[in-house]
Structure 1
Amino acid sequence: MRTERNLTRLDRVFARLDREPERPAHLDVPKMSRHRIALFASTLAFYVAIVWAVLITSWLVRLDWQVMFFRPYQQWPEIHAFVDYYVVLGQRGPTAVMVAAWLGWRSWRQHTLRPLLALGVSLLLLNVTVGAAKYGMGRLGPHYATEIGSNEMWLGGDIFPSGHTANAVVTWGILAYMASTPRARRWLSALSAVTALGVGMSTVYLGTHWLSDVLLGWAAGLLILLALPWFEPLITRSEAVLLGLRDRVREGRGRTEPAPAPAQQPAATPVVLLPPVGGRKDAPVCEPVSSSRPRTPAYLAPGPHTTRGERTPVAPAGSRRPPHSDRVLRGTAGSGSNSAARP
């Protein structure tokens, strides 16, 4: 009987880390539903109300001064070190790097650029809207206040709304926005809300922001997250353009880099057997040298050279001496008495 091993939680985690063979077709893209439009409208009304309350120096400004005079960092000094580190979760640089690393892995795993493009669009909207509001209203912070009870508007400051709070809402909220299941979206939404709430209250504790700055920062970040579905068509077109450009670059590289030709073996020079010189069977046989070896040029002595046909014929015995008619070979008849007498 065959039994299959039950997958542990670690096995499921490693399975999630594997890259999917192709882009999933069930990616959930949030739509601009009526519920989302109602939330966007109510958040926008809250945003306008906070700005108006600060402009007219209402009870909200008096509450800001009361919290500032309370000095929370002096009331609970034991948590000051922790808050100094915790407020980093609202700084744009570190949070953008961490979230971009996670969404980059999501892009690689699902074969899509949508997570990174959505992060880029949200950060661009954050810089434009929050930056314009900061420098447009020019409110000074609690440490630089000039007159007790005033709203400190249009004095060259840049703290209204709170950039730390708005950045925490957007950068951690984009993880919930890109969640693939409704359950994961709910959990990540709650986690990002608690993180952004803690970052905003940390700035109030440290005395770097008014309480109204934090309230407006929450509203500014939430408006960006709620408006992201309106930019989904732009994200889709940008992804198609980038992927098409990538494919054209790959095709261009394939055309400009031809496949290397296989190495050809040098052709072997045929061996030619020359007839024995002078008719002798035991004469050495000369074989030509292979063409793969470099041949040294032959240097001839100066002067006229004769061809092989004009040279002196070789004797049968292999001697190159010219024949003499008056010389008698040894052991031949007719030598007479000359053969007996030897010097």
Structure 2
Amino acid sequence: MVADMHSPSEAPLDSGLAGSPARGRERTRWDRLTSAPSLAVTLALVIIVAAGPFQDIDLFLAKRWLYRLDPSLLPFAQNVLDRIAGQAVCLPILLGVAAVIARRRRSWRPLLIAGLAELGFLAGVGGMKVILARGVTYERDPRFLEAGLFEMGAKGISFPSGHASEAVLIYGAAVYLIAHYTGATDRLVRILQWVVVAITINSVVVSFLIGWHWVSDLVGGVLAGGLFLRLLVDWDRRARPRAEESGPRSVPASS
């Protein structure tokens, strides 16, 4: 059985996008600030600054503060707070959201979006890490192109922060699916968006306090996650109408 993708109950919903003219103007400004070109330029500027004038500041701030403030909090920070934005937690959540929506809509598209989000993280963010080859904080060398995956393993691929990127990209993709492929209310979507913000802040603060990343790594991670999320959202908004018109492949209905 193939679901009618044009039916009102199953049509993609733009929760949180409609509103008063004032809200529309605010969203237009926000869309410009978070557009792919804006995020790409900002990320490039962060890389340039981090590779040059910001290195002394990165060195000064990389103090592994939690070891100094309260070492007893380290197990909780490392094993609980830091893992919220790790692959072992965020990826199953995204896949679970995508699977539930895919089954409800009888469409593979939510799973495709989840797969592309993970691909963006592995190939996009991971590729940047390998190419930029920056060592971790406890090597005390914030230069780029000086470490590398083959020379130092995971210690040589610090920029951008993977956890900060995942917090924005993977959790952001889950919220996008809920907002645009379900009947979620504007209020629920706003709450979920703030949850993503909280998870991102948690990832940045914890990584900074433990001393696993340079400050510029964390800023770059947030921007990189936002960039790949924006690219994914823009692609889906362009491709979705064409996919519906051509009749997308659908998940067979359960018996």
Gaps of 5+ in 1: 1-20, 248-343
Show CA shifts across 1:251-281 (max 9, x none). Answer: xxxxxxxxxxxxxxxxxxxxxxxxxxxxxxx
Mark the structure with the bigger radius of gyration. Answer: 1
Is 2:194 the counterpart of 1:190?
yes
Please give the alpha-carbon distance, in whole angstroms, between the structure 1 residues aligned to 2:32 and 2:122: 23
Residue matched to 1:221: 225
Q: TM-score, structure 2 length as denominator? A: 0.75
Residue matched to 1:69: 63
Q: TM-score, structure 1 length as denominator? A: 0.57
AA aligned to 2:174 is: L
AA aligned to 1:78 is: S
Aligned residues: percent identity?
20
Pick closer, same or farther for the CA change 1:231–1:73 going to 2, 3 Å: same
Per the TM alignment, residue 241 of structure 1 is displaced from its structure 2 partner at its CA by 5.1
Q: Identify which range, 215-224 or 204-213, moves more after superposition.
A: 204-213
Residue matched to 2:115: 120
Per the TM alignment, residue 54 of structure 1 is displaced from its structure 2 partner at its CA by 1.4
Could you say which structure has the higher helix fraction? 2
Pick closer, same or farther for the CA change 1:52–1:109 going to 2, 3 Å: same
Which one of 47, 50, 73 corresponds to residue 46 of structure 2? 50
| Residue pair 2:62, 2:214 contacting (<8 A) in 1 also | yes
Counting matched residue pairs gives 221
Please give the alpha-carbon distance, in whole angstroms, between the structure 1 residues aligned to 2:63 and 2:91: 34
| Residue pair 1:137, 1:153 contacting (<8 A) in 2 also | yes
| Residue pair 1:55, 1:153 contacting (<8 A) in 2 also | no
AA aligned to 2:143 is: N
| Residue pair 1:145, 1:152 contacting (<8 A) in 2 also | no
User: Which SS does the other structure have where 2:12 is aligned?
Assistant: coil
Gaps of 5+ in 2: 18-26, 149-155
Runs of 4+ in 1 over 6 A off after TM superposition: none
AA aligned to 1:242 is: R
AA aligned to 1:109 is: R
Per the TM alignment, residue 29 of structure 1 is displaced from its structure 2 partner at its CA by 5.0
Which one of 206, 209, 224 corresponds to residue 205 of structure 1? 209
Matches within 5 A, 1:1-343: 24-28=9-13, 35=29, 36-40=31-35, 41-56=37-52, 58=53, 60-69=54-63, 71-84=65-78, 85-146=80-141, 151-156=143-148, 157-178=156-177, 179=179, 180-232=184-236, 233-234=238-239, 237=243, 240=247, 242-243=249-250
